[in-house]
Amino acid sequence: MCCVFILLFLCFWLFWAGHSSFIADSPSRTASGSVIEGTVFINGTVAIAKTDDNFICATLDWWPPDKCDYGTCSWGRASLLNLDLGNPILLKAVKAFSPLKIRMGGTLQDKAVYESKGIDEPCTPFVKNNSELFGFSEGCLTMRRWDELNIFFRRAGAVVTFGLNALRGRIIQSDGSARGAWDSSNAESLMRYTVNKGYKIYGWELGNELSGNGVGTRIGADQYASDVDRLQSIVQNIYKGFKIKPLIIAPGGFFDANWFKEFIDKTPESLQVVTHHIYNLGPGVDDRLIDKILDPSFLNSGSEPFSSLQSILRSSATSAVAWVGEAGGAYNSGHNLVTNAFVFSFWYLDQLGMASIYGTKTYCRQTLIGGNYGLLNTNTFVPNPDYYSALLWHWLMGSNVLSTSLAGTTKIRAYAHCSKQSQGTTLLLINLDGNTTARVRVTISRENLAGNGALVVQQEQQNQRKRFAKICQDTKTNGKMREEYHLTARDGDLHSQTVLLNGEILAVNSSGDFPPLEPIYVSETAPIIVAPFSIVFAEIPSSVLPACAQG
């Protein structure tokens, strides 16, 4: 009898050991909070989409320190022109992804001039001038700075794309349109210099937010397609003899179905990547940002550009793929203590999950650093909560996307991918409810590898007493463990810029070293406990799924 009690105790400990310390200390859980039951259904027979392995991307922008929005100047020295590339935290932050895609671009790229022998004018910085397009004069990128950037990217192991000055040579008309063909001579000079120095550029992107109605000005789809053909010709010429040539990327603007369809149909051979931007939360000054972020219906509405662009690409003769080239959620530099705080991980991770479902290959977050939506703090370089969210996604979520649905609640967002490090499954759960804890069961369907048709593996289908008995009866089968990563805000404050992983604060130490992102281990048969206002990554290294065995 004594042995029985000991065995029961061990079974109880097996279930709760992973959860107890975290949940007991979780600031989000309240005594009055309710508990709901939910079930996630994952179809593991076939992947519904595939992302790039280096799906996570972040941007570096051009904005000078005197770029201000709503009376606040949030950019500091975070421009690609003045960023402190010697900061050790910055280097370690990029290196941690091995590799991180970085997109250099933004509004002022189209007014940038690249220093070259063919340009006699002095290489001067952007100067604030409200009477000029975008509120600034032309500004110059020196080759010294270009060298510094490329040396940094080489050290950090980054994969780099660069946005070219698509407005050069055009005339802005009274109706707001930009007329004339792109003058590519300055861009060609930069590309030749880049090749001669041995710098690697993964892709050259033409223009920023000039598609459709544009921002500030616009270019017609027909002319833009002609300019992209020109860029492709230049790249083929300059990179002649290179086994791998840079990608041709465009248009880097807000999705407009008619414009994008015409543009894509007219660039079937010259375009490899179609980029669009996402700021669906509206202006950064909006005081309803958090309400939108926590609204499942609002989040669902964000799928429209992904699905529409996917349909256009599938019906076109192009082989181009979709990227999100820039996404800061709230435009005009975001909102302090919202788009750089814990609450924004709900929107950001939901966007990553949704974009993946629709075959988006890469998702570039605005920004790596700068404004009020940086992954890193603009002044201290210390990671904001979304940095850790991005890093966990990069480490855990593989490229094969699985069909996932959830029953029992609308407040839990659920996404599943094949695991990055194994042929198991990684599940992402986001709890948008601040008063309810979710106990989530997982059901995975997969083909029976023994040839007996479909096998359904169900976790936590019995009540708690039966579960413990089942664990005890067959520890060899049910003793498998999963890894869980629970993210919560410090003191339960959604505006906090400090995030906790499994109850422990994530912070850079005095040497600038990043904290380890260590999981808790929980029995695979136990439900996943998702505390109020929390995010959970759960890696389930169970039997190999057919979808995860695909190349």
When pLDDT is cut at 50, 70 and 90, the band that residue 17 belongs to is very low
Q: What is the DSSP string of 499-550?
A: EEETTEE----TT-PPPP-PPEEEETTSPEEE-TT-EEEEEE--SPPGGGS-
Average pLDDT over residues 515-534: 97
Confidence band, pLDDT 50/70/90 cuts, at residue 498: very high
| CB distance 249 to 275 below 8 Å | yes
* Distance from C-alpha of 351 to C-alpha of 302, rounded to nearest angstrom: 8
Predicted structure pTM score? 0.90
Count helices and strands in the chain by DSSP H and E runs: 13, 27
Tell me whether residue 508 is exposed, middle or buried, using C-beta atoms within 10 angstroms of its C-beta: 0 to 12, 13 to 18, 19 or more. Answer: middle
Indicate which residues carry an active-site annotation. 209, 326
* CB atoms near residue 27 (< 10 Å): 17
For residue 27, what are its two tokens?
């600031």
**What is the per-residue pLDDT across 44-92, written as a single tens digit (0 to 9) for each?**
999 999 999 999 999 999 999 999 999 999 999 999 999 999 999 999 9
Fold classified for 51-401: TIM Barrel (3.20.20)
C-alpha to C-alpha distance for 420 and 55, rounded to whole angstroms: 12
Query: Reduced to 3 states, what is the DSSP secondary structure of residue 465?
Result: helix
**DSSP secondary-structure letter at 136?**
B
Q: Which two tokens stand for residue 498?
A: 């400090």
> Is 317 buried (19+), middle (13-18) or exposed (0-12) by CB count in 10 A?
exposed
What's the pLDDT at 482? 95
Contact yes or no for 288/234 (Cβ under 8 A) = no
What is the residue extent of each domain of the chain? 51-401
Reported confidence tier of residue 3, pLDDT bands at 50, 70, 90: very low
